Amino acid sequence: MIYAEVIGDPIEHSKSPIIHKHWFEVAGMEADYRRTRVGEGEVEAYLEKRRADADWRGCNVTMPIKFEALEQADVKSDLAIAASAANMLIPHEGGLAAGNSDVGAIVMVLKALHEAGRAMTHVALYGTGGAARAVLVAARTVGLHAITIHARDRQKAIKLAVEFGLSREPRTMADAPQADGVINATPLGMVGHRCLSCDVAGIDENGWVFDMVTAPVETELVKSARARGLEIKDGIDMLVEQAAVSFEAFFDAPPKRERDDELFARLRA
């Protein structure tokens, strides 16, 4: 049976199999989507096995191996190069192609916030990894340039700010954001990872929070935002959109999404 999968470490929390298997069911497809733990330094050995498997259609890649996955690819999309991260690897003409569907999914979330009339002048971004880089590429795409990076490692934040031409000085995670919205592109708030900055008192009253964490969906940051009446976009919003791009890349057909209301309900249960 043909299959795709998601790789990373940890991987048990991933909801990607739920999404793809739902779409298989809706389409009546005979296929599978799995979780496989692959840690840092293990990507090359993992791919050596998969390259020889005729049923393998590719994989999504999650933390902390998105950059390592990019390095292993023979062909790299412009978005993957810009983000310095691959969240998708696909067999391509005897080699491997790297893509980044995170960027497009983030663009869709940011556009939805704009269309909802939310304040979008200044954004606080938590993180400096592959997900944060995808946010910066997406923000550039939609013309959002006033961004303050908050990070545990301030030197990494400064380096990233210089690379993307940000004019605002980075802050630490202990600094409460003063912005229209917050994007959490870190694992902070995920099961086993304490939230280090859940203070949203400085967010505009017409503001918002976009938390990429998916397990749990209701993170402490999301709870704080809900208590203030802010607009909330959670990791499920992003996850489903990037999964749709991945599904089409893996299986040469877009997912049938007429029953996505059932899918979202299940993912948020």
Question: What DSSP line would sit under 173-210, residue for residue?
Answer: TTSPP-EEEEEE-SSTTSTTS--S----TTEEEEEEEE
Question: What DSSP line would sit under 135-171, residue for residue?
Answer: HHHHHHHTT---EEEEESSHHHHHHHHHHTT--SPPE
Q: Is 66 a catalytic residue?
A: yes
Q: What is the dihedral of CA 59, 61, 66, 69, to 10 degrees?
A: -20
CB-based contacts of 127: which residues, under 8 Å, 6+ apart? 135, 149, 150, 151, 184, 185, 186
Taking each helix axis from N to C end, the angle separating 16-27 and 235-251, rounded to the nearest 10 degrees, works out to: 50
Q: What is the CA radius of gyration of the chain?
A: 18
Question: What DSSP line would sit under 57-83, residue for residue?
Answer: EEEEE-TT-HHHHHHH-SEE-HHHHHH
With H, G, I as helix, E, B as strand and everything else as coil, classify residue 253: coil
Catalytic one of 15, 66, 76, 233: 66
Amino acid sitting at position 235: G
Please check whether residue 165 is in contact with residue 136, taking contact to mean a CB–CB distance below 8 angstroms. Answer: no
Which positions are catalytic?
66
